[in-house]
Structure 1
Amino acid sequence: MYRKYLGLLAGAASIGALAHAQTPEEIEQYKKMTIFQLGAAVAVNNEPYRNFNGGDPNKLVVPFYVYNKNNLTLAGPNISYRFWRPLDVQISAEGKYRFQNYEEDDSPFLEGMGDRNGTFEVGLKAQKRYNRLRLQAEGFVDAAGQHDGYELTARATLEVGNGRMISFRPLVGVSYQSENLIQYYYGITNAEARVNQAVGDGTFMDRPAYFADGGAVTPFAGAQVRVRLSRRLAFQGQVKSAFLPDGITDSAIVEKDNRTSAFFGLSYALSGPGVKPGQWL
């Protein structure tokens, strides 16, 4: 269960690394600093599979870290290196772990499906800032041979807070997941299909074969928040919900039309903007 949340925390924790930077000059200044944060958070994950975890979201307390220096950012197993900035568009090479997986004992409706694993993906990300608006586009492919597919994503975030003491960023976006990716996580092969299979409490299920018919577009929305409690201590969190299309919800193992994740935690800056030796808070 632990691995289901590290990717969420690694990605969401990095929202605070440059949250206080507003102008291009401030951003460049902070990039030259060494930013190192440690923290712990409560992560919540609500998967769309039928009777997943008995219908209750998974909850877990886990640690996280963020390191940023120059053009390099490390956050858990994720890595980002900014290597080009044409026309003020920041382009980076990225590697990240997809923490999307299930085990067949997570639900009686998944029994006999085998396990689906997360995977390491590589790709490119481009982003452009317009004052408080940030636009991002990215593409990732499976580099570890699990789903053998790809995902393309475009998102927009808007800075609503003052960016220094309080940062609140609503976000919206859309992703395109390839046929192979959908088939791996939501498909049902002929060998995995079941008819009138007992699932407990005297109930039975039919699980017909399901094969993805091309890729699917999934819109999503959410919000990021960061509140600076002191020079070193900050509260931060993220909530995100993806609204699943028919190409996913038509699968017999799926019962919900959304996939929601969230985390809320505290981070402690060992180094970074405003942090001075001898100041512990």
Structure 2
Amino acid sequence: MPSSYPLVSISHGSASRVAVVALLAVGLGAAVTAKAQAPADGEPSFPTWGLGLGVMSEQEPYAGIGRDNTPLPLLQFENRYIHLFGPRIEFKLPGLDIGDSQQLNFGIVGQYDGSGYEEDDAPILNGMAKRRGGFWAGAAVEWSSSFVDVSAEWLADASGNSNGQVVSLGLERTWQLGKRVLLTPHVGASWQDENYVDYYFGVRESEARLDRPAYIGESAVNIEAGVRGVYMFDRHHSVLMGVEVTGLADEIKDSPLVDRSTTNSLYLGYLYRF
């Protein structure tokens, strides 16, 4: 089952780069895996292993927090039942073939999300209670065709910190340019429920001050667009890149903690496949 789910940032906290790179890695790693595994009979060879290192650069929405640049290790493993890349794991379920060029794929997914902040991350957060990330789990489905891949995913906060839920929808298509380059533009939308938005962007009455009034978060829909790319030197060595821009919903932009209407992330990495 290809793991080409949408590149959708489910978080925008001081450590949201963890969630961003998880989904970047899913799409980038799937492209590398699909290309490198494709033998003459069309059946992928399992299992596969990969190790690498990447760098994430992200601009976050909180006021006073500058651009964050962080090195991130990459670990990939895939067989017929499991796909692991970075902090995300997928348990593959039986798919459904629809004709010669269409397929429905299903999976149970889990990932660590390092979203959240501490009060010393920025002056606007002074006096705020710490917001934590945690482990998220849910389900994903993908309709794959020769024209476009459409995917949907539901995740819930299994750690119970925000008690939030996120539903993501994405569309993407991969083009092969020559023998070595794969390019995947994508667009998506991410719905975040009121628990999620209030936890990460709300201000409690006990946290309010003159320049930070109390704020109750409501459910929101963010819009994302970007492109992923892979340059394959050979079956073992690949360079991965990703660029994404997210338009924040009004329910997030209106938070007194936020001072921008968009966020963006850049990713560059190297992967060695055994």
Unpaired runs of 5+ residues, structure 2, are 1-12
What TM-score, normalized by structure 2, do the two folds share? 0.86
Indicate if the aligned counterparts of 1:122 and 1:141 stay in contact, CA closer than 8 A.
yes
User: Normalising to structure 1: TM-score of the pair?
Assistant: 0.84
**Do the aligned partners of 2:223 and 2:248 also contact (CA within 8 Å) in 1?**
yes
Residue 128 (structure 1) aligns with = 143
2:81 equivalent in structure 1: 71
76-85 or 2-11: bigger deviation: 2-11
- How many residues align? The count is 255
In the TM superposition, residue 256 of structure 1 has moved relative to its aligned partner by: 0.6
Query: Which residue identity is paired with 2:76?
Result: V
Matches within 5 A, 1:85-100: 85-86=95-96, 87=98, 88-100=103-115
* Aligned 1:184-195 pairs, distance under 5 A: 184-195=199-210
- After TM superposition, the structure 1 stretch with the greater mean CA deviation from structure 2, 67-76 or 219-228, is 67-76
For the 8 Å contact 1:84–1:91, the answer to whether it is kept is yes
- Pick aligned residue for 1:11 from 23, 36, 51: 23
- List gaps (5 residues or longer) in structure 1: 196-205, 271-281
Q: 1:61 aligns with which of 67, 71, 80?
A: 71
Query: Aligned residue for 1:226?
Result: 230
1:25 Cα deviation from its structure 2 partner = 9.1
Deviation of 1:124 (Å): 0.6
The 1:28/1:78 distance shift into structure 2, 3 A limit, reads farther
What secondary structure is seen at the aligned counterpart in 2 of 1:19? Answer: helix
Q: Shift in Å at residue 15 of structure 1? A: 2.8
RMSD (CA atoms): 2.4
Change (3 A) 1:246 1:14: closer
Q: Deviations over 1:229-249 (max 9, x none)?
A: 122110002122211111111
Deviation at 1:139, TM superposition (A): 0.6
Matched letter for residue 9 of structure 1 = V
Identity of aligned residues (%): 28
Is residue 14–residue 116 contact of structure 2 (8 Å, CA) maintained in 1? no
Task: Tell me, in whole angstroms, the C-alpha distance in 1 between the residues paired with 2:232 and 2:221.
Answer: 36
* Aligned partners of 1:124 and 1:138 also within 8 Å: yes
Give secondary structure in 1 for the equivalent of 2:132. Answer: coil
Partner of 1:198: none
Give yes or no for contact 1:239–1:261 (8 Å, CA) kept in 2.
Answer: yes
Query: Post-superposition shift, 1:162?
Result: 4.1
Give the 3 Å change call, closer, same or farther, for CA 26–120 of structure 1 in structure 2. farther
Deviations 1:34-78 (A, max 9, x none): 2211111111121101111xxx31102221111111131112332
Q: Give the letter for the 2:212 counterpart.
A: R
Please report how far the alpha carbon of residue 2 of structure 1 lies from its aligned counterpart in structure 2 after TM superposition: 10
Mean alpha-carbon deviation: is it higher for 227-236 or for 158-167? 158-167
